Amino acid sequence: MTDRPVVLIAEELSPATVEALGPDFEIRSCDGADRAELLAAVPDAAALLVRSATRVDAEVLAAARRLRVVARAGVGLDNVDVRAATQAGVMVVNAPTSNIVSAAELAVALMLAAARHVSPAHAALRAGQWQRSRFTGTELFEKTVGIIGLGRIGLLVAQRLTAFGMTVIAYDPYVQAGRAAQMGVRLVDLDVLLAESDFASVHLPRTPETIGLIGAEELARAKPSLVLVNAARGGIVDEAALHDALKNGRIAAAGLDVFASEPCTDSPLFELDNVVATPHLGASTEEAQEKAGLAVARSVRLALAGELVPDAVNVQGGLIAEDVRPGIPLVEKLGRLFTGIAGEVAAQIDVEVRGEITHHDVKVLELAALKGVFTDVVEEQVSYVNAPLLAAERGTAVRLVTEEESADHRNLITLRGTLADGAAVSVSGTLVGIHQRERLVEVNGFDVDLEPTEHLAFLSYPDLPGMVGTVGGILGAHGVNIAGMQVSRDAKGGLALMALSVDTAITPEVLEEIDRATTATWVRAVDLT
């Protein structure tokens, strides 16, 4: 036996990762894909290092009595139950920037390969056919490229394509025009981007709002010469619509690294000569894997030393009061709700914390709010350290306001912001009862009392009879079941707010139908999945 903390490595990592951990830990290994072996090995572990094959769920966390940190050597966290880890007081870290250069370079590689017919020309040559005239390509030089999503990876792609002599335009509703201009990029809406671009590259997160963002209607507006690349997330480009557009010559070519359902080995897109496809290789470089291993090794050392952990996705590390910790997931949700309701990034955000918890250091709640605000805005993983940087990049001023007195709730957290046009947005939440249940209690000045479930919708409309029935009828006709509803108004015959929790996501088409039927001043759906 040893007094050194046990670090359990559940999947193969680079030798540099083990070296970076150093001699202060007892390093053990297991096969994380073997459930019985993992459960037998994890009770002694202070840290668990995984990649994508090891499933870290509530069962594993319950067995890991000494576990303090789970480290995912990569970006995605689909195999880690972050909520269960947070409830267990276990930090979750990943390596959010380890693959950004690799992903950007692959997007450029796909663009070049599609423009120069590399894949079909290679196949023809291997088949013994020398067909130079068949594979005449297109230069990137002096062409216009549209970057769909101007986050870190999108910006890296833009910088690299500028070196090719391309004119760069971009679509990103969460980037202010002035900030884009500083990057040398002209900001446009999606229709303009598709109409003007010779090449386009997708770099958005996959959210309910972005799924199917580029479909048949959007592709019909594009130039016939368009080369479209998606190395971000599958499903953002409608694959059936893309196949139809490519087959019928409405656009010229596509480069794809991601698909709506993965692994994907059988797609009609693979039958087309004007498609070059790779099996989600964005992070598959030796450099990215080594960066990921080194990053999580550094985070594990910090976490087990009780220090600030830059890449923590659920808690920041260091000392967080037990009374403050349960509010972290709630505040992250409030941040996502704030952005969903605002529909853009605010110019100013105040994180107001009221009540007994202000006797403790609540700086982590400000960071949690910002993490939530940007979670559905950028493609890259948002952490407690990069969230303030993302706010600064987008020109958002942030302020933490604390007040010991809370009139209606033991503790109350409000996110209050001002948009670019001067409009105000606010959301408030609290925890109730001995089980600390999350409640949404205010939206834009209207009182509500609603659990912030996975699928929510909000609309503001003139206070007229029949509105509840109208909305319920539309949702029912589309098979959307209402789990909870709150209606609030500022005055009789004035403005009303309807807040709903529903069992399934509401599509943009259904939202538009509700908008028309209720003459709403605004309608929003927010998914917290």
Cβ 207 vs Cβ 174: under 8 Å: no
Helix (H) or strand (E) holding 338, with range, is helix 327-342
Please name the residues in contact with 294: beta carbons below 8 A apart, sequence gap of 6 or more: 14, 16, 17, 20
Cβ 451 vs Cβ 500: under 8 Å: no
Calculate ∠ Cα 317-436-452, nearest 5°: 90
- Which phi and psi (to 5°) does residue 43 adopt? -60, -30
Cβ 296 vs Cβ 269: under 8 Å: no
Both structure tokens of 58: 């509530």
Please give the C-alpha separations between residue 245 and each of 192, 193, 253, in angstroms, as whole numbers: 18, 17, 9
Please give the C-alpha separations between residue 483 and each of 115, 247, 430, 447, 527, in angstroms, as whole numbers: 49, 43, 20, 18, 14
CA distance 436 to 447: 20
Both structure tokens of 418: 């001002």
SS3 377: coil
Please name the residues in contact with 248: beta carbons below 8 A apart, sequence gap of 6 or more: none
How far out from the chain centre does Cα 338 lie?
Answer: 15
Helix (H) or strand (E) holding 39, with range, is helix 35-41
Single out the residue of 71, 138, 75 nearest to residue 101, CA to CA.
75
User: E strands within 54-202?
Assistant: 69-72, 91-93, 144-148, 167-171, 186-187, 199-202
Q: Which residues are catalytic?
A: 233, 262, 280
